[in-house]
Amino acid sequence: MTIAILNSIVGLRIKIPFISGLSCGFPSPADDHLDEGIDLNSAYIRNKDATFFGRVKGDSMEGAGLSDGDLLIIDKSLEPRNGKIAVCFIDGEFTVKRIRIEKDIIWLVAENRKYQPIKVTKDNEFLIWGVVTNVIKEV
């Protein structure tokens, strides 16, 4: 799975109408639950100077809920920890994988059985570029 890194547009503040408590059961009049609004930048971006968007390409992370075409919110300021999903730069290409750390070994693990884990060695050009914090899906 690779991603296309998009320019950061997180400085823009836009309040969008927001409905809280959407029921998946019986319908209720939405206007009764219309809140003041929500700014998605404030809600989902912790560090605007280190946050970028990237679009998923491929199916290697489908088991983690990341599908081809999804938009990822990536924070470069977060510490990459064991078990986190990260954007990694390995041997000249970006990829999105779950990080698995075992002693002194880093593995990049896909969430699709079609793909084998990637063992990062000293021979690889490798950088954990950022940690995925959220995904925006189209339905």
Q: What is the pLDDT of residues 9-52, one digit of tens each?
A: 445 565 656 556 656 666 655 555 556 777 778 888 888 889 99
Regarding whether 64 and 37 lie in a shared domain, the answer is: no
- 114 belongs to the catalytic site: no
Q: Domain range holding 67?
A: 2-6+47-136
- 60 belongs to the catalytic site: yes
Q: How far is CA 11 from the centre of its chain?
A: 19
Which is catalytic among the residues 8, 48, 57, 60? 60
Regarding whether 62 and 40 lie in a shared domain, the answer is: no
Regarding whether 86 and 31 lie in a shared domain, the answer is: no
Look up the CATH number of the domain holding residue 90.
Answer: 2.10.109.10
Which is catalytic among the residues 97, 103, 114, 122? 97
Number of domains in the chain: 2
Regarding whether 40 and 56 lie in a shared domain, the answer is: no
Q: Tell me: the pLDDT tens digits for 83-125?
A: 999 999 999 999 999 999 998 899 999 999 999 999 999 999 9
For residue 118, the model assigns a pLDDT of 97
Structure tokens at 109: 């693990």
Regarding whether 31 and 85 lie in a shared domain, the answer is: no
CA separation, residue 94 to residues 7, 15, 87 (Å): 15, 32, 7
Average pLDDT over residues 56-66: 96
Closest CA to 74 of 120, 6, 21: 6
Regarding whether 81 and 23 lie in a shared domain, the answer is: no
Which runs of consecutive H residues, i.e. helices, occur in the chain? 40-44
Regarding whether 105 and 58 lie in a shared domain, the answer is: yes
Regarding whether 26 and 55 lie in a shared domain, the answer is: no
